[in-house]
Amino acid sequence: MSTPEKTSRVSGFHKKSPRERLDFVAGFSGLDEDEVGHLANMGNLDPHLADHLIENVIATMNVPVGVATNMRVDGEDILVPMATEESSVVAAVCNAARQCYDSGGFVTSMSGTLMIAQVQLVGVSDPVHARIRILERREEIKAVCDACDPVLVKLGGGFRDVEVRIIESAGGPMVVTHLIVDTRDAMGANAVNSMAEKLAPQIEVWCGGRVYLRILSNLADRRLARARAVWTCDAIGGAAVRDGIISAFQFAAADPYRAATHNKGVMNGISAVVLATGNDTRAVEAGAHAYAARRGAYGSLTDWEVTAEGDLAGTIELPMAVGLIGGATKLHPTARACLRILGVASADRLSRIIAAVGLAQNFSALKALATTGIQKGHMSLHAQNIAMMAGAVGDEVAALASVLVGLGTVRVDVAEIELRKLRG
């Protein structure tokens, strides 16, 4: 008798409990008892909450939360929780912050908390005329948008402006309406999407044609977070280090291959705080990378210059659509606790701190790259990971890691041999 084929067609999977789903998955994928037991342990996230945050939940994924010290932002000392699986990220922020602490730390600002929703209209014979017809309805548009979210309006947010762009596309001209909405302490995706959906039928009535998409833009360039700091030459080890950092920045500004890695480093810090606070990492990342390409070529999110005094001046500016309310921010207990650690009372303050972390991260990466190279700093933490992969436990981890660093060869095969030696 042939065994029935495995099938991924499962009816009512979403209606099962996490444990029932896990049992199905275990049977499907041949998980052993240890693996099932591990996945069934949801740690400090209530299974009921996990099951309501996303669909088809079977487990949770724990990521370490570290705290960056030495951060001084707008004259206030703060501790910054960072959720990341990558070694050296938290240490990089601590080091950068320590080296600019005495020169005042980070100074930050924000362009506002405005989000943009887009309504795409196609098949209009007179797009230029249609654009003006939409702009004439500003007060009507404001009323429709604000009626969608009285809570937001009561809190001082709501509709701020309307813009209409005509985009030439492969399918002909598109009339794209931008609703500009102040979403205050919310990231605002749901808020502005509801407004765009509500307004869409009206736009068809005013212009003819057909509306397709009604959704926010993650290029949140009306919500720019900015941070700057000065590192004195003395604090960073001299003019050669300063010039190396500036040259590294100039490389990124001139070359998208380098800029991608430069900005990946910036996002190491930024995404870690975004995740720790329960915000949407993909939204912030999409906004950052689109902003980095705003001049037509992909470039650096940061800028590095020499001050009149000969010190190193660093600047960052990027869209920062994060909130204190909405999504998982208020629901996830770890996110709530991380927001308490930060002590922030507004999305504006959170955004500015996150920008400062991105700048700090970039400083450390560029300094390491321009001097000793990135591997030296990474090596000891990386060696500990390799030691654990080779099977080291408890005190063996640090001991084996230092042997590997001493050998200058941090590889699993070498670690396995050295672990056997350590164990005699």
Please give the residue ranges that form the binding site for ligand NAD (CB under 6 A): 149, 151-152, 155, 157, 183-191, 193, 216, 218, 280, 283, 323, 325-327
User: Hey, is 1 helix, strand or coil?
Assistant: coil
Pick the closer one to ligand NAD by CB: 214 or 262.
214
Pick the closer one to ligand NAD by CB: 186 or 401.
186
Pick the closer one to ligand NAD by CB: 155 or 374.
155
Position closest to ligand NAD via CB: 326
Interatomic CA distance for residues 27 and 39, integer angstroms:
14
Q: 372, exposed or middle or buried, with CB in 10 Å at 0-12, 13-18, 19+?
A: exposed
3-state secondary structure 58-74: CCCCCCCEEEEEEEEEC
Q: How far is the CB of 295 from ligand NAD (least distance, A)?
A: 23
Number of neighbours of residue 181 by Cβ within 10 angstroms: 28
Pick the closer one to ligand NAD by CB: 40 or 155.
155
Q: How many residues does the chain have?
A: 424
For the CA atoms of 343, 289, 249, 112, what is the dihedral angle to 10 degrees? -40
**Among 322, 148, 91, 134, CA closest to 220:** 322
Q: How far is the CB of 400 from ligand NAD (least distance, A)?
A: 41
Q: Which two tokens stand for residue 13?
A: 């999977």
Interatomic CA distance for residues 186 and 190, integer angstroms:
9
Pick the closer one to ligand NAD by CB: 193 or 409.
193
Known catalytic residues are 86, 264, 280, 378
Alpha-carbon distances of 21 from 3, 5, 30, 47, rounded to whole Å: 22, 19, 14, 13
Between strands 224-231 and 172-182, the pairing is unpaired
Q: How far is the CB of 329 from ligand NAD (least distance, A)?
A: 8
Q: How far is the CB of 323 from ligand NAD (least distance, A)?
A: 5
Pick the closer one to ligand NAD by CB: 283 or 379.
283
Q: How far is the CB of 296 from ligand NAD (least distance, A)?
A: 23
Q: What is the DSSP letter of 144?
A: H
Contact 137, 119 (CB under 8 A): no
Interatomic CA distance for residues 133 and 208, integer angstroms:
11
> What does residue 172 show for φ and ψ, rounded to 5 degrees?
100, 180
Q: How far is the CB of 315 from ligand NAD (least distance, A)?
A: 26
